[in-house]
Amino acid sequence: MFMGEYHYTIDDKGRITIPAKLRYELKENFVITRGLDKCLYIYPKDEWTNIIEKYRNLPNTKDARNFMRFFLSGASDSEFDKQGRVKINQPLIEYAQLKNVCIIIGVSDHLEIWSEELWDNFMTDNFDNLSDIADKLFTSNI
């Protein structure tokens, strides 16, 4: 399970180091794609396979097609270089507005990479509502 928050820089070649603990959980090959909320998602290959299977079972509706286009068109197989970095292609860098400091967070079955600015905005916009959100999502105390 992925969890935690890590601050790393992206270099001018689009490479970012993934913490060793997270690299171990991702294994050698993984998929990186556009995520929701202007961040990137990184999935281990086995979890990616599960997601694709779920997509195959979606009805052939306009919403399903549009979401699959968005999600899958940005996806690419990836692996780490010898320094534990992942190379992010330019369209994904632009989509997620990645500059200098990036925030890598673990979100259960995947990682997310956020620009520092968008992550700070997300936290500011949602911090005061987290208690209400938790009340709506969970029937018991956390």
**Tens-place pLDDT, residues 38-56:** 999 999 999 999 999 999 9
Phi, psi of 83, rounded to the nearest 5 degrees: -95, 5
The residues pairing with 87 across neighbouring beta strands, listed in sequence order, are 15
Section 68-87 average pLDDT: 95
Q: Is 69 helix (H, G, I), strand (E, B) or coil?
A: helix
Assign 134 a pLDDT band (cuts: 50, 70, 90): confident
Specify the pTM.
0.92
What whole-number percentage of the chain has pLDDT above 70? 97
Cα distances (angstroms) measured from residue 60 to each of 56, 89, 109: 9, 30, 26
Question: What's the one-letter identity of residue 17?
Answer: T
Section 92-121 average pLDDT: 98
* List of domains in the chain: 5-137 (3.40.1550.20)
